[in-house]
Amino acid sequence: MAVRLPTLSGRLSQLSLGPSTYSPLSFLVPQIQHQQLLQVRHASILSSLSDNPGAYNKRIRKGRGPASGKGKTAGRGHKGQKQHGKVPAGFNGGQTPDRIVHGERGGENIFAIDLVTVNLERIQEWIDQGRLDPKYPITLRELHFSNCVGGIKEGVKLLGRGKEAPLKQPIHLVVSRASADAIAAVEAAGGSVATRFYTRSSITRILKHQTHPYYSTQWAEKSGSEFLTKCLGEFEEAKILERGGFIYRLPDPTKRRDIEYYRDPAHRGYLSHLLQPHEGPSLFFRSPVERKSTAGVKKEKILGPNRLW
């Protein structure tokens, strides 16, 4: 009688009884179990896939059929100016605009510079308390580390509050800008004021002792007072940077409005030494004296041989 082998399902049921039971098809059991585990694992991963919160925002596509919810008129409604075109800001339907009837108020000057203000009375108070030393130039660095001003962003402006009481000693200031009253009060006490150009990044480097507080490529011996020039020592850029351990060079202005401000001697700008005789600080308009000096003598009109007029 021939030997009959049991079916695969029967053998698998026998294999579950114990490891000692022998079967010629036992090598198939691990592969079948492995495939089942892979299928279950893949299904669980695919069913739980999702984007991180905020990683994907569904964009509203207008005019792509009624199923999108923004089809047909694409959310604009029916008829009217808002459906067919754009409405200018402040449009009142054709009547006189409100900005003309009631006028314009407020607004923001996009060209304004964010300057920190400091008054003469505060500087004198800091000197009396020993926080500032008038024997050395008072720059942005000294004003910052003495807590005389805080939050310097684009520079410091010197104001003249306290000018009624004269300064007790001469001081030498280097700031971004200064008022006329403050300049007059400081110079009346025997001091000096020099205004120079700064940027946000240059101020950060000055406070980190990586840049000189007022020396730059266009700074000359006539840019400031003799006291400032004496504090620089030898007037050579390499030696000045090496002496202070500076690794960056202080920038100079490139915009026209900045150049014109620091070319003006009335502002005590450090570029005022660049002006020629009878020349104004403006780079576009000529001063009356300059126009008169360059006008010259009017030449007589000489007619040709065959011309009567």
Q: What is the pLDDT of residues 72-117, one digit of tens each?
A: 999 888 988 888 888 888 888 889 999 899 988 888 888 889 999 9
Which three-class secondary structure state does DSSP give residue 100?
helix
Instruction: Quote the CA–CA distance of 179 and 206 in Å, as a whole number.
Output: 24
The residues spanned by each domain of the chain are 116-287
174 with 229: CB under 8 angstroms?
no
Write out the two tokens for 135.
């024997």
Q: Which two tokens stand for residue 147?
A: 């807590």
List CB contacts of 227: < 8 A, sequence separation 6 or more: 137, 172, 192
DSSP state of 208: T
Q: Which residue has the tokens 């690794």?
A: 247
> For the packed helices 28-47 and 8-15, what is the interaxial angle rounded to 10 degrees?
90
Quote the strand ranges of 108-234, DSSP E. Answer: 116-119, 156-159, 172-175, 177-178, 192-195
Angle at 108 between CA 105 and CA 112, to 5 degrees: 135
- Alpha-carbon dihedral of residues 159, 160, 166, 170, nearest 10 degrees? 30
What CATH number is given for 116-287 in this structure?
Answer: 3.100.10.10
Positive or negative torsion for Cα 240, 241, 246, 249: positive
Read off the pLDDT of residues 256-290 as tens digits, 9 standing for 90 and up. Answer: 999 999 999 999 999 999 998 888 888 888 777 77
Tell me if 213 sits within 8 A of 144, measured CB to CB: no
pLDDT at site 53: 86
| Residue ranges in the chain modelled with pLDDT below 70 | 1-44, 293-309
Q: Write down the pLDDT at residue 137.
A: 94
Q: What is the model's pLDDT at position 145?
A: 95
